[in-house]
Structure 1
Amino acid sequence: MQRRRFLQSAGLLTGVSLLPQQAWLRGLLLPASELLALRRNISIYTERGGTIACLLTPQSMVVVDTQFPEQASNLLGLLRATNSQPLDLLVNTHHHGDHTAGNIAFKGMVNTHVAHVNSLANQERVARENDKLAETLLPTTTFTDTWSQRVGDETIMLHYLGAGHTNGDALVHFQEANIVHLGDLLFNRRFPYVDKSAGANIGNWIEVLTAARRLFDKDTLYVCGHAGENYPVTASAADLKAMAHFLKMSLRYVKKAKRKGETLEQILAKTTEIPGASEFKGQGVERILNAAWEELS
């Protein structure tokens, strides 16, 4: 099997590949990556886009999220060094292109492809809007609240706790390994993208993160979609709490400014970080500000 090593992978905050290009996306490319082993045959892969999680043994193979076609093909090459069989399971945590555009690389080699029902609707809608349906491999199985499948000696349990980053965010729990892929429900110390066009809700996002901390335990290892500079794409319950606090402080900050009579333009012009949550950094603070303004209007 190819050598597993850790690459400096603070993660990148990539938006939806099918959305109009934004300046902050340019240059956010990571070098070709390798699998980073976590525990019990679960690894993560970071190259370009949202973090991928994999279950890999000679008999079993599960992939959670797929980045982009080139990166998915690179990953597939690594997987094939151990397992030449079709994927037992492909999961999309949500519909954004940096998590799903690589689905197409697995066409014809997936036994089960699953996502939340809203994620499927969002994937199909965005593909049609961008005339990319022919280039899109859509999930064939959906769920609403929970869904599970046994693969080898691991149980993969999917949970939906409500709208957050989008209205279709799945939490993917490898139960025996006690690893949860949160998709973009967790941006580790980096300003998040809040997709209001796909039902995102900051207030409910806070509740989702709180519910996740109750649902899992103190030993759970979390995988997040993206991370800030010098922060890993793996996390603990404390990082979920920090993310929820950031979201809460963002709403509080915008609400206070609105009460003072400040306009959105004034808030955007003066803000480089969220008071009370200054460890969250990076490009794109305007995304959380715009979303909070809309939610409070």
Structure 2
Amino acid sequence: MKLIKFFTVLFFLLISLTNCAQGRFDKVTIETIKLTKNTYMLVGAGGNIGVSIGEDGVLVIDTQFAPLTPKILEAIKELSDKPIKTVMNTHHHGDHTGGNENLGNLGATIMAHDNVKKRLKEKSPEVALPVITFSDKLSVQVNGEDLLVFHIDNAHTDGDALLYFTESNVLHTGDTFFNRRYPYIDLNSGGSVDGYINAVKAGLMLIDDNTKIIPGHGNLANKSDYETFLKMLETVKATILAEIKKGKTEDEVASNDTITKEYDDMDYGCCFVSSEKMRRTFYRSLKRK
């Protein structure tokens, strides 16, 4: 009887957790931002989505969380009645790949860097995995233009990609750019401060003053926003390197809010990554050098 009671409680606990997970997305709305005649940015919960529409069908960059797929599909239906043919993942994190399984089941072809597939295989069903992968770069002809895809080594993770629409002049950075926010650098997944900074520099080489930039998180951006973000990264890096050379410990750097005060005052620590977490991550990455 005790065993039956245990499994009964466990069953209802799992149901409750599932409902809570679903419930956190109930009030999320999908905002559609038109960039050009055939490219869009979708904002919901999780990583920002890029969309290309046209005669070839719909291409989607990143898929947010699985429970949001119906809302995302409704938003895309307002733009095009063609099927979603292709999904591109900027990296492996769940807020960018959670809807892969749903879109894979609808027949979409999923593409990503080799390391994205390796990491997703650890936790995802076959239908959610990329079926086309690349190690360095990729060129995709879609809806009348070239989509250039570049791998960036050890930036946010070990599988990051920048995606640039050549005719639309639209860049999707994935999580190698958090607009006016401190970034999350996943050291446990191959990310690094130096790689992250190099990713931003690589992105800046692709664009001009008229480029529309879809960041992984934050508002639609332009070149000036991107340059401001790079300056923040380089400033914090230089300051923390100086602290390391002085022999400061990780906890001393993490607790020293003067290091990031300029950007704290601009509310860069508003969201997922606090200024303390930012300083600790930079210390750990730079200390490894």
Q: Pick closer, same or farther for the CA change 1:135–1:121 going to 2, 3 Å.
A: closer
Paired position in structure 2 for 1:245: 231
One of 146, 158, 170 as aligned partner of 1:167: 158
Bigger Rg, which one: 2
- TM-superposed CA distance for 1:29, in Å, is 9.1
Q: Pick closer, same or farther for the CA change 1:41–1:206 going to 2, 3 Å.
A: same
1:35 to 2:32 alignment: yes
Gaps of 5+ in 2: 1-23
Paired position in structure 2 for 1:98: 95
CA RMSD, aligned part only? Answer: 2.4
Secondary structure of the corresponding residue to residue 118 of structure 2? helix
8 A Cα contact 1:250 1:288, kept in partner: no
- TM-superposed CA distance for 1:163, in Å, is 2.2
Paired position in structure 1 for 2:209: 218
Paired position in structure 2 for 1:282: 270
Q: Pick closer, same or farther for the CA change 1:169–1:92 going to 2, 3 Å.
A: same
Q: Pick closer, same or farther for the CA change 1:30–1:145 going to 2, 3 Å.
A: farther
Q: Pick closer, same or farther for the CA change 1:166–1:29 going to 2, 3 Å.
A: farther
Matches within 5 A, 1:28-107: 31-57=28-54, 60-81=57-78, 83-107=80-104
- TM-superposed CA distance for 1:162, in Å, is 2.3
Secondary structure of the corresponding residue to residue 208 of structure 1? helix
8 A Cα contact 2:138 2:148, kept in partner: yes
Paired position in structure 2 for 1:177: 168
Opposite residue 281 of structure 1, the aligned amino acid is G
Which piece of structure 1 moves more, 282-291 or 146-155?
282-291
1:256 to 2:256 alignment: no
* Equivalences, count: 260
- TM-superposed CA distance for 1:147, in Å, is 0.8
1:41-62 Cα distance to aligned partner (Å, 9 max, x none): 1111111000001112465201
Secondary structure of the corresponding residue to residue 243 of structure 1? helix
Q: Quick one: distance in 2 between partners of 1:116 and 1:91?
A: 9
Q: Quick one: distance in 2 between partners of 1:35 and 1:93?
A: 19
- TM-superposed CA distance for 1:293, in Å, is 1.5
Paired position in structure 1 for 2:149: 158
- TM-superposed CA distance for 1:117, in Å, is 1.1
TM-score, normalised to structure 2, is 0.81
Q: Quick one: distance in 1 between partners of 2:97 and 2:178?
A: 18
Q: Pick closer, same or farther for the CA change 1:52–1:157 going to 2, 3 Å.
A: same
Q: Quick one: distance in 2 between partners of 1:221 and 1:81?
A: 22
Paired position in structure 1 for 2:255: 269
- TM-superposed CA distance for 1:181, in Å, is 0.5
- TM-superposed CA distance for 1:201, in Å, is 1.3
Paired position in structure 1 for 2:7: none
Secondary structure of the corresponding residue to residue 128 of structure 2? coil
One of 199, 204, 207 as aligned partner of 2:198: 207
Gaps of 5+ in 1: 1-26, 128-132
